[in-house]
Structure 1
Amino acid sequence: MKKPVKTSIEVQGTEITVLNTSDGQFISLTDMLKAKDGDFFISDWLRNRNTVEFLGIWETVHNPHFNSGEFAIIRSQAGLNSYKLSVKDWVEKTGAIGLRASAGRYGGTFAHPDLAFEFGMWISPEFKIYLIKEFQRLKEDESRRLSLAWNLNRTLSKLNYRIHTDAIKANLIPPEVTAAQAAMMYANEADLLNVALFGRTARQWRDANPKLDGNMRDHASIEQLLVLANMESLNAELIHMALPSGDRLRKLNAIAIRQMRTLTASAARLLPFRDNP
């Protein structure tokens, strides 16, 4: 499991931790509690019958492994003076995924944004509104950074493609060929890279995705575009070395596998959390 990446937002003067984890983003209820006047605890919120009802509905919608039987027992007791429930008990008894309590470096109680917003309402309606606003701003900033990184890698890939095509022209295309023959050679070499990185040719991708606009490179991830840019330069050098296409394909495929493993393993440390496509 990838290590969580910590970011933060400030809501009405209170700094609130947001963890980007392998299974989503979680907002610190422990930090949010600092904004509530008086001596209150998260367990006080969990005692509320409306809270339990909301948590149960959310888990039923989002969690296929939610223990509805245990939830029914908890719901029947919610609101009683003797009723007590901790986040740990809630998770252990019902298999809930929306709340989590942990110790260590990222210790505290964290909640899925949907549940954190509900907790924000318990603090105050105004706090909830500002919490949603700041969280949305954080998401927009993350989306913008991802878009900039994607466009940069796409540009690098296009620049390296020129190096790639020049190597093809200088070494693989004999003189006096037609424009159509030259274009076919460029397409063949582009597909060599496609197969090495994506495991399929441009035509195979198009046949499998008839409703998508653009080509497979337009739908590639940031990591794939970065590896593609590297491979275009490497293939240009291999062409200058007069390596046969089969040998180049095997070498480039091995390089693509190695670089993708490295990049995807470190993605959580380099970039904010992003949703799976």
Structure 2
Amino acid sequence: MSKINVEGSEISIIAIDDKDYISLTDMVRNIENGLALIEKWLRNKNTIEFLGIWEEMYNPDFNSLEFEGIKNEAGLNRFVLSVKQWVEKTNSIGIVAKAGRYGGTYAHKDIAFEFASWVSPYFKLYLIKEFERLKEEEQKKLGWDIKRNLAKINYRIHTDAIKNNLIPEKLPKEKINFIYANEADILNMALFGMTAKEWRNENPNLKGNIRDYADISQLVCLSNLENLNAVFINEGMKQSNRLEKLNSVAIEQMKILSEAENVKKLK
């Protein structure tokens, strides 16, 4: 669940089948008799027609026959329709009624924006603005998550290559850790020109390690070097030769990455 603040109203957004549904209940919570507005809007003939068109476009299980009956009744003084009735009669997916802690009436964003326009065009515009801001933040976070997961995958490829080719059987754990650290320093030397210990000695007041202070270009290059080093290890290349090749690759890639416009934007 996500939340956005629109003109002092905190509005919940949930995902249903990977689609965004916005709380209509939250939209009218600060309005006197606000909850009654949802059913009043739902009884409007124009609303019924809009919902029917939306459902026919996106819902293959929509009960069109039942919908026609509701549409013919809409607008009459005796016409009454709740969200629950609409969902049960038409098998609607555009509007849902949720129970529990985050309960209330939720609608697909297309429908939620239509409801917001009916309540207040001013409110609708700010709702769209905040919703788009939320989506932009989520995309940025997704980008960082992908980068982090790719780094984990590359790290596994690198450590597996070390394990399968450089670690003898029944080696003590401390010796195994030394080999992993030693190979990590091959990458550090190729990219940063120093080992992790040398960096710590030069920066005694900084927490973490040398890679924690790398910029985007360096992290991208480091990920590529891990893959290359894994290939070189599997090929049986000597460590000294690997370091020389990795350093050459690092120099070339850093030149390219430092000039790439997309990387500059990430920075």
Q: Do the two structures share a fold, i.e. TM-score over 0.5?
A: yes
Q: How far 1:38 moved relative to its partner? A: 6.0
Q: Which amino acid aligns with 1:92?
A: E
- For 1:79 and 1:136, how far apart are their aligned partners in 2? 34
Report 1:41-120 matches (<5 A): 41-120=37-116
**Which residue of structure 1 lines up, in the alignment, with residue 29 of structure 2?**
34
- For 2:55 and 2:160, how far apart are their aligned partners in 1? 52
Relative CO higher for 1 or 2, CA cutoff 8 Å, sep ≥ 6? 1
Render the CA deviation track for 1:115-152: whole Å, top value 9, x for unaligned. Answer: 00000001111111111111111112112112111101
Q: How far 1:12 moved relative to its partner? A: 1.0
CA contact (8 A) 1:35 1:123 kept: no
CA contact (8 A) 1:12 1:127 kept: yes
**Which residue of structure 1 lines up, in the alignment, with residue 7 of structure 2?**
12
CA contact (8 A) 1:26 1:112 kept: yes
- For 1:55 and 1:134, how far apart are their aligned partners in 2? 24
**Which residue of structure 1 lines up, in the alignment, with residue 186 of structure 2?**
none
Report 1:1-277 matches (<5 A): 6-36=1-31, 40-170=36-166
Q: How far 1:22 moved relative to its partner? A: 4.0
Unaligned runs of 5+ in 1: 1-5, 173-235, 237-277
- For 2:56 and 2:15, how far apart are their aligned partners in 1? 23
Q: Which amino acid aligns with 1:112?
A: H
Using the TM superposition, name which of 141-150 and 14-23 deviates more. 14-23
- For 1:171 and 1:38, how far apart are their aligned partners in 2? 72
- For 1:101 and 1:161, how far apart are their aligned partners in 2? 47
Q: How far 1:171 moved relative to its partner? A: 6.5
Q: How far 1:156 moved relative to its partner? A: 2.2
Change (3 A) 1:167 1:104: closer
* Local SS of the residue matching 1:41: helix
- For 2:145 and 2:8, how far apart are their aligned partners in 1? 31
Q: Which amino acid aligns with 2:38?
A: I
Q: Which amino acid aligns with 1:114?
A: D
Render the CA deviation track for 1:216-272: whole Å, top value 9, x for unaligned. Answer: xxxxxxxxxxxxxxxxxxxx9xxxxxxxxxxxxxxxxxxxxxxxxxxxxxxxxxxxx
Q: Which amino acid aligns with 1:45?
A: W
- For 1:133 and 1:37, how far apart are their aligned partners in 2? 25
Change (3 A) 1:124 1:35: farther
CA contact (8 A) 1:43 1:85 kept: yes
CA contact (8 A) 1:26 1:110 kept: yes
Change (3 A) 1:36 1:122: farther
* Local SS of the residue matching 2:29: helix
Structure with max Cα Rg: 2
Q: Which amino acid aligns with 2:100?
A: G
Unaligned runs of 5+ in 2: 169-232, 234-267
- For 1:57 and 1:170, how far apart are their aligned partners in 2? 64
- For 1:136 and 1:35, how far apart are their aligned partners in 2? 23
